[in-house]
Amino acid sequence: MSDKKITIEFNDRVVRQFLLASVIWGAVGMLAGVLVASQLNFWQLNFSTSWLTWSHLRPLHTNAAIFALVGNMMFAGIYYSTQRLVKARLASDFLSSLHFWGWQAIIVSAACTLPFGLTRGQEYAELIWPINVAVVLMWVVFAVNFFWTLARRREPSLYVAIWFYIATIITVAMLYIVNHLAIPTSWTHSYSLFGGVQNALVQWWYGHNAVAFFLTTPILGIMYYFVPKAAERPVYSYRLSVVHFWSLVFVYIWAGPHHLLNTALPGWLQTLGMTFSLMLWAPSWGGMLNGLLTMRGAWDRVRADPVLKFFAAGVTFYGMSTFEGPMLAIKSVNALAHYTDWIIAHVHAGTLGWNGFMAAGMIYWLLPRLWNKPLYSQSLANLHFWVGLVGILLYVGAMWTSGITQGLMLNATAENGTILAYPNFLDTVNAIRPMMLMRVIGGGLYLTGWLMLAFNVWKTVRGAEPVNGSIEVSEEPAHADAGQLSLVGSFFNPPVLFSVFGVGFVCVWMFGHDFVSIAGLVGAMICTVMAYAHFGSRGRKWGDWYDKLLVNSMPFTILTFLAVVAGGMIQIIPTVITNRAANVEDRRQIPYTPLELAGRDLYVREGCYLCHSQMIRTLVPDVMRYGDYSRLGESIYDHPFQWGSKRNGPDLARVGGKYPNVWHLRHMENPRSISAGSNMPNFPWLLANALDTSTLPRKIAVQRQLGVPYPAWTDAQIAASVSAQQKVIAKDLREAGAYVAADREIIALIAYLQHLGKYEAVKPTGSAPKLAD
Amino acid sequence: MNPNQPKPTAEDALRPHSFDGIQEFDKRLPNWWLVTLYVTIVFWLGYWAYYEWFRTGPNDHQRIEREMAQVEAAKLASMASGQLDDASLWKMSRNPVMTAAGKATFMTMCVSCHKESLRGIDDGGIGANLRRQVWIHGGRPTDLVHTVTNGVLVKGMPTWGPVLGQKKITEVVAYVLSYHQEGEPMSVQPAAK
């Protein structure tokens, strides 16, 4: 090795760009949040205008918070820390720029499509397919830029932050691609490849792990870099990093079904979702411990330093949310909390408390270093902290109270448990109105704090000279061959083999029958005992192997991928390959008529699923309120599924036939004309717009491709069917005194709503005896 | 796995390597943290074994069907304290919670004469055969309630009204009716034997 030194300059330009984008989009996302929260209180704020309506803006709010605020913040943090941790400039300036501008273009196109009803109808996966393709491309750009930089690193060993970045990149790619598989019907519309229960399972495998690998692992990596930097203290425990990293990435993937507890999802999946969520508690808290205990010895500085304040509070919120998550995943707790504001409290403790505060801490720490100028105002940053904290506490406290109140009211019964205490859903909505108002105030305070940050950023950056970090290194790159692991060395060694065989045996126990199952259990126990004994006697070798693995980025990445892919494969593959038509329990959905299908696409376009579930859970209050519990066969042909995750209004799974057509017409035009005190927006444009039937033949053709049993209709047959059904409904409305042209959108939506809950009985396969009544 | 190897000397030592100036301790994992991890793993094993392996616990469908039957039973029970009619008694006879409660009463109070099979005299007992579609004192559900409540002293049927009360009598009748179908052919032979 020659001693000749060279100086490399880091690409901090892209870090500055992402940082500023995060500040700006964060403010936009939070502003959208305050608006949608206000709309729930004051329906007038929907302005009877489609693109300003709650159900069109809510996806904008969630997508902005996740992909724009946290996304940009994550890229800034990852690019800043990675260059320094591996002692190399980002591999390609072109890819870095492309990544930045591409990502901003995606955000802008999201903002230009979601309010106008261009959506896929799955939460956090709403963006239409051309934007999905762009996201995947940008993610590939990010991955190439990142791994190329790793390949050129001068620091052979990978620091724990890098482990989390690697897990983020490969897992988000996997989740995003699988959940967005779809067949386009036009440039702006597609049908998900999966339907009904399969779609539900894949969606929440994605949705849950978007939280895990987009909002958690990258931020943990950022924590592992910026917290020790800001605290000027060593990380608390390396071995805790190792144990909690691997347990976190392995266990997280399995927990997705906890979003579908007590639904028609098969029981074994619910059991896995609940128990793995509980097992996730300790791995998550491992991260919290390492964050908080790293600050030990720097607590005296927390009082004055806004950066440490934000980090300490952010990590504490992480600990709180990751305790609350497993608790909410307990089936009986979930029976109360699911579909209520309690879940809203939970996710905002995560995004505002954990993501938002970690972002703020990181930004305040980076500003002076990226612009070579002291922060404009420390006291304004401290004020931001306190205003933001009060904001979150008000928000979360209000939503806890609201969720528990409404949950208890919805579940309350009277007269010896034979009738509902609050049969009118609106009674439960009106009971939580004060809390909904408190939420607006809390959210408003948080936004105010963020605007203080934006002001501080502007005052600091204005007139400042951007400065790029640099480092002096030996001219020769680190010899990557030092300690290179062979294929055998990477995968055929005690820690990996014990893990693989242990998981394998446990799966044999869980899914095998009779003796195979018992053999799996015995195998798992022997494997555990052997691993314990081996670690006891040769533990040092495990450590040596791991040290070697850390200088081998490719084997490390492959092992991480294996750890994250296991849970998803075991849950999804059996569900997807089963013959759908046979796996329906005792009921099979009747496919929609062409007009009803068109109406369903309107239901998706208008974002109805954001307030109305179509899933009656196997719970007494659900059955008493909405009718017989939903069977998985009753939505098998739904692409996308619309089971929903929140009930701002009542469930609609069996609303078909419950009310006359004219009820729906009046209700969509002005909900308050039917239900006094309702906070649902008006949808008057449905009465004015003509239904676009031109894409129906193509849509039905795609549905046939997806396995929905439609006959091979000609375009003329489809048009005739649509027109005939339109006339029947229009005539019925006319007889009830409502005059609407038959070709209006509302007619199709009514046709769809009246179909909900229609099924054909199938010979029962389950063992549960059916109660006759 | 035992990450708790006692390494008193290594406890506060920093790992040799530093990354961009960041150093790492290698402190042992807190015991309470490990216990939390292990307890949740054991809970998973037990929960899976209970619900999915031995299938000891009811699945969701069995549970909701049972719970709704209980709600239905409570509704019917409140009906039982009011005016009874044939239709509601037939409905009760199809409710598993009602008939299970009736069976329990039947097997302690009625079984001595009517036998476990309900076949009574045809099964070595002294009471009437309740499985036949031929009745002595009337076979309509309300007739049965009347017979049980007031008894037929000449035939040896006690007066159960004061002993069992209307709720239990209704349940017992529901249980007997569960062996019959609404609308089945039925005849009355006052002095069959």
User: Which chain A residues touch B67 with a CB distance below 8 Å?
Assistant: 620
User: Which chain A residues touch B79 with a CB distance below 8 Å?
Assistant: none
User: Which chain B residues touch A418 with a CB distance below 8 Å?
Assistant: 71, 74-75, 78
Please give the average per-residue pLDDT across B131-146, as a whole number: 87
Question: Which of the pair, B88 or A23, is modelled with greater confidence?
Answer: A23
What's the pLDDT score for residue A415? Answer: 79
Min distance A21 CA to chain B CA atoms (Å): 26
| Contact status, residue A45 vs residue A504, Cβ threshold 8 Å | no
CA-CA distances (angstroms) from residue A216 to A33, A127, A223, B172? 21, 22, 10, 60
- Residue partners of A510: CB distance under 8 A and separation at least 6: A268, A517, A520, B48, B52, B53
Structural Rg of chain A based on CA atoms: 27
Domains in chain B: boundaries:
1-57, 66-188
What's the pLDDT score for residue B11? Answer: 56
- Judged by a CB distance cut-off of 8 A, whether residue A513 touches chain B is no
Taking only residues 72 to 91 of chain A, the set having a beta carbon closer than 8 angstroms to any beta carbon of chain B reads: 81, 84-85, 87
Cα distance between residue A619 and residue B192, in whole Å: 50
User: Which chain B residues touch A550 with a CB distance below 8 Å?
Assistant: none
DSSP, residue by residue, A386-412: HHHHHHHHHHHHHHHHHHHHHHHHHH-
User: Which chain A residues touch B23 with a CB distance below 8 Å?
Assistant: 228, 234-235
Substitution target from B17, B40, B55 for chain A, most A beta carbons within 10 A: B40
pLDDT band at B124 (very low <50, low <70, confident <90, very high): confident
Q: Does the interface predicted TM-score (ipTM) exceed 0.85? A: yes
Cα distance between residue A177 and residue A495, in whole Å: 30
CB B33 to CB A241 under 8 A?
Answer: no
Min distance A47 CA to chain B CA atoms (Å): 43
- The pair phi, psi for residue A6, each rounded to 5°, is -125, 160
* Nearest beta carbon to residue B41 from set A243, A279, A289: A279
Substitution target from A12, A418, A498, A630 for chain B, most B beta carbons within 10 A: A418
Taking only residues 101 to 120 of chain B, the set having a beta carbon closer than 8 angstroms to any beta carbon of chain A reads: none
Q: Which residue of B has its CA nearest to A420?
A: B71
Cα-Cα-Cα-Cα dihedral sign, residues A685, A686, A692, A697: positive
Substitution target from A237, A521, A550 for chain B, most B beta carbons within 10 A: A237
Taking only residues 49 to 68 of chain B, the set having a beta carbon closer than 8 angstroms to any beta carbon of chain A reads: 51-53, 59-65, 67-68
Q: Which residue of A has its CA nearest to B41?
A: A279
- Judged by a CB distance cut-off of 8 A, whether residue B27 touches chain A is yes
CB A267 to CB B51 under 8 A?
Answer: yes
- Per mean pLDDT, which range of A29-33, A713-717, B4-8, B166-170 is the poorest? B4-8
Alpha helix (H) residue ranges in chain B = 31-48, 60-80, 86-93, 96-105, 111-114, 141-150, 161-177
Overall pTM surpassing 0.95 (yes/no): no
Q: Which of A760, A691, A741 is nearest to A719 (CA)?
A: A691
Strands A587-589 and A759-761 come out as antiparallel
- Judged by a CB distance cut-off of 8 A, whether residue A517 touches chain B is yes
| Contact status, residue A125 vs residue A114, Cβ threshold 8 Å | no
What's the pLDDT score for residue A524? Answer: 95
DSSP state, residue B13: P
Min distance B19 CA to chain A CA atoms (Å): 6
CB A234 to CB B25 under 8 A?
Answer: yes
* Nearest beta carbon to residue B5 from set A279, A416, A539: A539
Specify the CATH number of the domain B66-188.
1.10.760.10
What's the pLDDT score for residue A482? Answer: 58
SS3 A90: coil
User: Which chain A residues touch B33 with a CB distance below 8 Å?
Assistant: 282, 285-286, 289
What's the pLDDT score for residue B191? Answer: 53
Q: Which residue of A has its CA nearest to B90?
A: A773
pLDDT band at B168 (very low <50, low <70, confident <90, very high): confident
Substitution target from A80, A89, A154, A159 for chain B, most B beta carbons within 10 A: A159
Q: How many whole angstroms from its chain centre is CA B147?
A: 28
pLDDT band at B6 (very low <50, low <70, confident <90, very high): very low
Cα distance between residue A554 and residue B59, in whole Å: 44
Angle between helices A129-151 and A160-179 (to 10 degrees): 150
| Contact status, residue A82 vs residue A159, Cβ threshold 8 Å | no
Cα distance between residue B155 and residue A680, in whole Å: 68
User: Which chain B residues touch A293 with a CB distance below 8 Å?
Assistant: 27
- Residue partners of B165: CB distance under 8 A and separation at least 6: none
Min distance B116 CA to chain A CA atoms (Å): 24
- Judged by a CB distance cut-off of 8 A, whether residue B22 touches chain A is yes
Residues across chain A? 773
Q: Is the pLDDT of residue B51 over 60?
A: yes
pLDDT tens string A240-275: 999 999 999 999 999 999 999 999 999 999 999 999
Q: Give the helix/strand (H/E) hosting A414.
A: strand A413-414
CB B44 to CB A276 under 8 A?
Answer: yes
CA-CA distances (angstroms) from residue A233 to A290, A301, A336, B8? 12, 12, 43, 21
- CATH superfamily label, A587-761: Cytochrome c-like domain (1.10.760.10)
- Judged by a CB distance cut-off of 8 A, whether residue B31 touches chain A is no
Cα distance between residue A510 and residue A524, in whole Å: 11
| Contact status, residue B44 vs residue A276, Cβ threshold 8 Å | yes
CA-CA distances (angstroms) from residue B48 to A325, A505, A506, A748? 20, 15, 11, 45
Cα distance between residue A743 and residue A729, in whole Å: 10
Min distance B21 CA to chain A CA atoms (Å): 8
Q: Could you give the dihedral angle defined by the CA atoms of residues A627, A433, A348 and A56, in that order, rounded to the nearest 10 degrees?
A: 70
Min distance B98 CA to chain A CA atoms (Å): 12
- The highest-level CATH class for domain A5-468 is mainly alpha
What's the pLDDT score for residue A481? Answer: 52
What's the pLDDT score for residue A661? Answer: 94
Q: Which residue positions in chain A have pLDDT lower than 70?
A: 1-3, 476-482, 578-583, 764-773
